[in-house]
Amino acid sequence: MSRIQLEPAYVLHARSFRETSLIVESLTRAYGRVAVVARGAKAPHSRWRNVLQPFRPLLLSWNQKTELGTLTAADQVASPPALQGQSLYCGMYLNELLMRLLQRGDPYAEVFERYRQALAELATDVPPQPLLRVFEKHLLEAIGYAMLLDREFGTGEQIRPQGWYEYKPVCGPVLRSGPGAGRVSGSALLALHTESLQAEVLPELRTLMRAVIGYHLGARPLASLALFSA
């Protein structure tokens, strides 16, 4: 049995387990996505009742014998970012995205740090759409689905800013004769590649990323997309 102590973490999701406990899914810096049982967490006077909440920077300790660990300590180490309105919905979207795309037990320290930074930025007046697109791009790269954005699939030709492309999720962009349903401009692809996202390319990139992420998620769509246009 492994004993993990004081691991930086964020709660992604929690669900009821038996009468008074919770199964808590968390993103941790060194262990990736982990699931632990928080025994008695639903009890009125539980020490964890108000701690195991999304977006709060935590230090978690748990015992791990099987895939499902047992929580032994949870401490909030800083004030959570002030997410409300659209920024709150964006945070919920990021949590669901991580829940659906990350496998348990695979460490993604870079994803953890990008998530931490994304929450901090969402609490400011920074426009959320560029932030979300860049986060999605890096998340796909981290889990082995890096997007080809600067060259055409098959030919290796550099992306033309004035060109129009069909983006194949498992391959990359293929040059087409002009705009059309499901196509994306070369300027939008290059903007995402350099992470210099201007307002005019954001609608195209939202459509592109929904299609690419949807392909990797499979038939079940993200529930959080019903709340707002992520």
Span 24-63, pLDDT tens digits: 999 999 999 999 999 999 988 888 888 999 999 999 999 9
Please tell me the predicted confidence (pLDDT) of residue 228: 64
Span 146-187, pLDDT tens digits: 999 999 999 999 999 999 999 999 999 999 998 988 899 999
CA distance 185 to 164: 5
Please tell me the predicted confidence (pLDDT) of residue 48: 87
**CB atoms closer than 10 angstroms to residue 5:** 10
CA 186 to chain centre: 25
All structural domains of the chain, each given as residue ranges with its CATH number in brackets, are: 2-76 (2.40.50.140), 86-226 (1.20.1440.120)
CA distance 83 to 104: 26
Q: Helix 128-142 and helix 186-194: axis angle, to 10°?
A: 80
In this predicted structure, the answer to whether residue 1 has a pLDDT above a threshold of 80 is: no
Span 100-157, pLDDT tens digits: 999 999 999 999 999 999 999 999 988 999 999 999 999 999 999 999 999 999 999 9
In this predicted structure, the answer to whether residue 227 has a pLDDT above a threshold of 80 is: no
Residue pair 108/114 in contact by the 8 Å Cβ criterion: no
Span 9-28, pLDDT tens digits: 999 999 999 889 999 999 99
